[in-house]
Amino acid sequence: MRTMTAATTTLWNDLDLSAELNAPLGALTWYRAGGRAEVLVQPNTVDALATLCCRCHEMAIEVRVLGLGANLLVTDSGVDGVVVQLNQPAFCGVNWQPSTVAQTIRVGAGAQLMALTAESARHGLQGLTSLAGIPATIGGAVRMNAGGTFGETAQVVHSIDHISLRGERTTLTAVELAFGYRHCALPEGIITAANLTLTAGDPVKIREHLKEVSAYKKNSQPMRDNSAGCMFKNPIDPATGRRESAGKLIDLAGMKGTALRTAYVSPVHGNFIALTPHGRADDVLALATAVQLRVLEHSGIRLEREVIVWSTKGELS
């Protein structure tokens, strides 16, 4: 992929979008750390986004999409190319349809999951309350199949609208997305909207469930720290074939509470690697590597990162 020159920045001049060169990207993530984006683009229409993708593809300019930045670490050197943020009204709407039975609502990919969850409970709809307290946009929640003890995003996804990096638009069904644990088979490109199937239920029970899930999260996770949630996926224990808690393995390896410069393993939850205010993203990465090595030495299990890392070299594996 090539970096942009003054000439290539003209590729969006005629499109309905706003663009900021050398934009502070790390500040838009939950870590509140990390470098800049060569250009941050906020499209106002799906057409503008599709055309931008197509032109960037033709010019070999990398395009990435930022959600709420709650599962993302941007290294301190930042990223080349275009970062798209779907925070304009065309990408944040929800069409509620009053109904007494199941209904499929259409949600813009930039809409925020927490607000949507609360609103769905007010509408007496169940399905999203299992995801209460998870910071995400709908696009990010689908891409990561966000979830936990009470359920996961896949359970409500009917289909998504998608723009490929060549600018082609398609609709993909939940079956085509082949959801798995914190994973889906999403082709490269951008989710622009999702159709979610929710069912009508007893509003009192739905609100109680929302409270129960929110309280569970608040009591078990350091929600106020600068982090991206769980750093590692829960690995499959070869002995049992079941998923083992990565947090427990980190705890058993003696890493809970460990600090490396400005990054530290949360004393509340071993799988959260947090950062002090004004800390360095690269410290998080270095500590995550140290934790991975220590757990491997201690338990023989190799932890796989759940947090996505963006760098000038692309997405780090």
Specify the residue, 148 or 270, whose C-beta has the smaller distance to ligand FAD. Answer: 148
CB of 102 to ligand FAD, least distance (A): 24
Work out the number of other CB atoms within 10 angstroms of the CB of residue 289: 12
CB of 191 to ligand FAD, least distance (A): 4
CB of 243 to ligand FAD, least distance (A): 13
In 87-129, which residue ranges form alpha helices assigned H by DSSP? 113-122
Long-range CB pairs of 9-15, under 8 A, 24+ apart, other chains included: 9/39, 11/52, 11/55, 11/56, 11/59, 11/61, 12/41, 12/48, 12/52, 12/55, 15/43, 15/48, 15/51, 15/52
Instruction: Order across the sheet with 263-265: list the strands.
Output: 259-260, 263-265, 273-275
Specify the residue, 124 or 189, whose C-beta has the smaller distance to ligand FAD. Answer: 189
Specify the residue, 124 or 195, whose C-beta has the smaller distance to ligand FAD. Answer: 195
Given the rule CB under 6 A, which residues bind ligand FAD? 30, 64-72, 86, 109, 134-137, 139-141, 143-144, 146-148, 190-191, 221, 223, 227-229, 308
Specify the residue, 124 or 250, whose C-beta has the smaller distance to ligand FAD. Answer: 250
Contact predicate 157/174, CB 8 Å: yes
CB of 149 to ligand FAD, least distance (A): 8
CB of 168 to ligand FAD, least distance (A): 15
SS3 category, 211: helix
- Chain-centre distance for alpha carbon 16: 25
Specify the residue, 50 or 124, whose C-beta has the smaller distance to ligand FAD. Answer: 50
CB of 173 to ligand FAD, least distance (A): 16
Neighbour-count burial of 268, counting CB atoms closer than 10 A to its CB (0-12 exposed, 13-18 middle, 19+ buried): middle
Specify the residue, 124 or 145, whose C-beta has the smaller distance to ligand FAD. Answer: 145
